[in-house]
Every structure is written in C-alpha cells, then in structure tokens.
Copies of this chain bind each other. A is one copy, B any other.
C-alpha cells in the first residue's frame, strides 16, 4: 500500500515520556486525532527491543495507512521494512543512508543551521522524486526544549522563515512545539510540526493531536 506523505502533524515517540503507558496505544490515539506520520525514537533500547517495537508499530501503522519512520537505526528500518528513516548530524551521513534504503523510502535529515541546511548535497530534489536529496529537513529546536539532551542552538521563527525563503525542501519544525505556537511555526514556513511530549505526555494523546492538527490548519489559514 502506498501511504500519503504528509508531514503536517508529525509524532516523534519517546517512551520515557509516556508515563508508563503503552506506546502502540499512544500511536493509535495520535493517529485517530490526526497525526499524519510517526517516528519511533529509541535512544536507550537495545537493537532487539527497538526491532520488536518497530515491527509492532509497522503492523499498526500499515493498518492505519500512516508512514512509520525509524530514528537513527537504518538497520532496524530495513529489517521491519519501515516507510523511512530519520537521521541527524550525529547519525550516519545522509548519502550513506540513501544508498542503503534506496530511492523510494522517506529519508529525513535534521539540520542545525541555515548554512547546514543549504549545504546538504542535492537538497533541492524535484518534489516527489526522492532519489537524491532528503525528503524533508527536520529544523530544530525551533523553541527551547528539554526533550533532547544534545540539542544545539535554538532556531527561532525568524531563522526558520529565512531558511524557507531559500529552499523548496519540505521543512518540519521540531523542538518546543505545542498547540500554543504550532500555527506560528507553520506561518514561518514549515510544512509540518513535529512533537514529542506535546502528544506522548498528554493526558489524552488523541485530544492533544486534534488540537495540534487544528493549530496547523489555523497556521495555513484553513481554519
């Protein structure tokens, strides 16, 4: 089944933030609330744990028609035939990742600065081609955040807007995004917003995602 590539409401999972709740249940609720894509991020799991979780998430998200992205571990992504992989500047180099997964998988790349974003090889790939450049760039942290320990300098909305003016690449804003600022992130030029704790730690992940999706629509003037 071909899944729609829509980065609007991008859930990044973090099990320690789930307050002991079942991650698959949270994913299911988030998708019911409007999450358009899901990334599994497991920084402390063994490869076996990550694989088992990814396999279960893939089954679930195949039924729901939503793409599954694996953070960092390209081998886990390949093993479960995930829809894509997301890498940062401390992970495997983008070009190596693309070689491994081929032209049809989604590959997302985190960038720390405008300069870095613009220096990505073959960045301005023909939309929908996906054979050369990353399918989207993760831009962040847009706002200060405590979720990731190794975050670099905060982008702010102005830098995001500056990058928007200089690239046709799909941009996903991440870091400190929540219902209260998601519309601003979209207005600054992001194609979508990625959240971790705003969904994972929410009392109702479904309702939190609905509100976030509404904020994204608001940012696009489609309220």
Binding site for B on A (CB under 8 A): 46-49, 51, 72-76, 78-79, 87, 89-93, 96-97, 99-100
Contact = CB atoms under 8 A, between A and B. Distances in A.
A48 B90 contact: yes
Contacts of A51: 92-93, 96
Grouping DSSP codes into helix (H, G, I), strand (E, B) and loop, the A interface class, with mixed when no group exceeds half, is helix
User: Which of A72, A74, A97: most chain B CB closer than 10 A?
Assistant: A74
Contacts of A48: 89-93
A90 B44 CA distance: 12
A75 B79 CA distance: 10
A97 B76 CA distance: 10
Contacts of A89: 48
A76 B92 contact: yes
